[in-house]
Amino acid sequence: MSIVIAEERLPRELTPFEAVEAAYPGELSRTREALRRTLPVLVECDKELSPYFYRCLRDRLRRDSLRCVYLDGRPDPNAPPMSTPVGLIGTMIAQLRDAVRGAVEQRIVVLPHLDLLTTSSGGLTGEAREVISLLYENPQILWLGFKDPTFMVPRVIENLFPHRESILGVGRDRLAHLVLQRESRKFGRGLNPYRLYKYISGLNAVRLRRLLSSVTGEDYPIDAEPALAQLRTATLSGDLSLPDLDLHRDIGGYDKVKERLQAEILDILTTKETLDDDGEVARIEALIPRGMIFWGPPGTGKTLFAKAMATALGAAVTVVSGPELKSRWVGESEERIRNIFVRARESAPAVIVFDELDSFASARGTYTGSGVEHSMVNQLLTEMDGFRKDELVFVVGTTNFVESLDPALLRPGRFEFHLDIPYPDANDRRAIFEIYDRKLGLGMSERALDYAVRRTADPVEGTGTRYTGDHIQALCRAAARRKWRESKTGPTEIADIEDVLTRYLDRPELTAEEERVVATHEAGHAVCALGCEHAPPIDRISIRGDIGGTLGFVRYADPAHRYVVTRAQLLDSICVLFGGREAEELLLDDLSIGSSDDLDRATGIARALIEQYGMGGDEVGAFRYRSDRAGDVDPMISESTREAIERNVRRILDEQQARARAILSENRPVVVALRDLLVQRKALDREALSHLLREQSDSLGKIKDKVHG
């Protein structure tokens, strides 16, 4: 059955009261029936709606001969003037006292501002303590209370109301009764309630009527987007904003992340927009996850992806800092969460982003704070469980540590969609650089772009962390500032990138002799890597001290095989680790303490070969002597076996040390040339290294085949 409603089936005119009757027939009927059964009722709705809802309800109750007394705090115009003004709350309490103690027959007392009797955090005000006794004093009174969704009332007051009605927005099935014929023409021929509902699901009927009557534009437009955009803008409230961030144009790389987000969320919602069968729409809506976890290292773009998703959906976004939600006042943290959801639902479609979700939603039993975190998690889950399936409100929690989150959040139906956003690889970094190159007008040459991608494979100078999209953006902005300062109009070249990366680094000031030692050490690692068949290709060598904690380094390209590690690869790794030490011994006839970390890593690999992987040879056999978690060999192993393990560890290390010495001795001229070039240039990329090796072609020994290959 088609979901488009013909224009002639829509109403011609509506008063606000008729709109409320049309929007909430079920709520009005249930409230009336509960009051007829002498059950006090608490209605949760916007302040704007409550007087209209009450009047419609009052008209129904009059037909049942039920009398209402409306205590709104307005003074009786016939009463004598008071010498001292008491204000709204004081007048309400006086009216309440008169109603409770003056009643002799059963009647309905209406409290339109019940939430004003409490503080913003749900505790009792001084006046409210008097009110509590009045509310319970006269059993002949039937209470009808109204409260705003953004406030909570204390439990002692809530307990007075066994029947409750919560009204937020309007049901999609009621739109056909709320849109006038002349208003529908602004959105095309016939009313598509599914398309319109996307933008007004959180509006109460009174506000909806006001906004619909204000939409301007031509009748029967070819494109209804301008009219829908007017509604979209008018429904924004609080801290919500409309992002403008294209998933593919404005976010570089991350093809797999984008593909999953597109397939699992965006494509489903796009398909829903094109359907004209309400049964099929309902089936699609049941498939859409409302809670999502975006996890990964800091700076990788988790919030950026949430905003791009919101842009694709035409949704408003509010980003909430998890730590800022916490309050030392009882109930205030929960109230903040409740208010966030109320505003988001009123501004639907909306995306709520809880940044650093783990700051208050960590696994129970792992947090040692005040305990407010558990209440916050419960409030968050309560709000999420209260979503209607037809309203487009999504909750995205971002975290660096998904494993630390409370399991109650991760079960299906809550945060069931998990999206891993890792550090960017080389292809991702290239795409990110290209975006900022275009946006900032850097004009990066192809060589500069290649260099920037390779250079950012190193850890961030001075921190040791890997480069993220945020780091790359900061780098590009720094390059743009440099270009502006120097009034440079040409393309950005390699030297410009390197200058931005290194100008303000606090590097160690090495003497000439110290530079020679570090260069010898790194040249030894590099030449051994060239001489080992299973070592990965070299990407960059540096003696600048531009990685925290090291004076120099050799960076390798990603290996061709990332997931399968063989014994030959591990043995080659040990050989390369010995390269620095052996080069110092060969060329300097001395040793520095710079090899301590190399020796530690080499010994660890040798032990793992024997104790964990069963690759130690016939004497120790294919046996696992140590688990991954244990820090030492199984204590039940005999002393003779321990001695055999130590002998074989030493054998592996001695063999690879001798192998490294042989490679370096055979290629000594290459080691010397590489060392001298490092001393001169401080850093060499892959291209410079290849040029050097071509010049030294006649001196190549064991590394010749690998270099030429």
* Dmax (CA) of the chain: 115
**Is 271 contained in some domain?**
yes
Residue ending a domain, choose from 234, 263, 281? 234
3-state class of 295 per DSSP? strand
Per the structure, the complete domain to which residue 459 belongs is given by: 426-502
Rounded alpha-carbon distances, angstroms, from residue 533 to 282, 573, 661, 663, 707: 60, 11, 16, 12, 10
Q: Indicate which residue of 21, 44, 356, 522 is catalytic.
A: 522
Q: What is the CATH number of the domain that holds 498?
A: 1.10.8
Verify that 447 and 364 share a domain, yes or no.
no
Q: Write out pLDDT tens, residues 571-587.
A: 999 999 999 999 999 99
> Is 215 a member of any domain?
yes
Residues 121 and 197 in one domain: no
pTM over 0.95: no
Structural domain contains residue 371: yes
285 plus 152 within the same structural domain: no
Do 104 and 217 reside in the same domain of the chain? no
Task: Show which of 151, 166, 181 is a domain's final residue.
Answer: 166
The pLDDT of residue 370 is: 56
What was the pLDDT predicted at 462? 61
Do 177 and 204 fall into the same domain? yes
Last residue of one domain, picked from the residues 480, 502, 524: 502
Name which of 601, 598, 538, 535 is nearest 569 in CA terms.
Answer: 535
The reply to whether 661 and 561 lie within a common domain is yes
Same domain for 445 and 529: no
* Residue 2 located in a structural domain: no
Residue 246 lies in a domain: no
Is 687 catalytic? The answer is: no
Are residues 389 and 436 located together in one domain of the fold?
no
Render pLDDT for 86-127 as a digit per residue (tens, 0 to 9). Answer: 677 778 888 888 888 776 566 889 999 888 766 545 456 677
Domain annotation covers residue 247: no
What pLDDT, on a 0 to 100 scale, did the predictor assign at position 679?
Answer: 87
Which pLDDT score is estimated for 4?
A: 83
User: What distance, in Å, lies between the first and last C-alpha atoms of the chain?
Assistant: 67
pLDDT for position 708? 46
Same domain, 532 and 585: yes
Opening angle at CA 498, ends 525 and 553, nearest 5? 15
Spell out, as residue ranges, where the chain has pLDDT lower than 50.
Answer: 83-84, 120, 122, 708-709
CA 216 from chain centre, in angstroms, equals 37
Identify whether residues 200 and 314 lie together within a single domain. Answer: no
Residue at 243 is within a domain = no
Q: Based on DSSP, count helices (H) and strands (E) in the chain, helices before strands.
A: 29, 13
CATH of the domain at 84: 3.40.50.300
SS3 label, residue 316? strand
50 to each of 42, 55, 631, 649, how far by Cα in Å? 11, 9, 67, 80
pLDDT of amino acid 363: 67
Q: Are residues 476 and 533 in the same domain?
A: no
The total of structural domains in the chain comes to: 5
361 in the same domain as 301: yes
Residue pair 231/72 in contact (Cβ under 8 Å)? The answer is no
Burial of 37 (0-12, 13-18, 19+ CB in 10 A): exposed
Is residue 125 domain-resident? yes
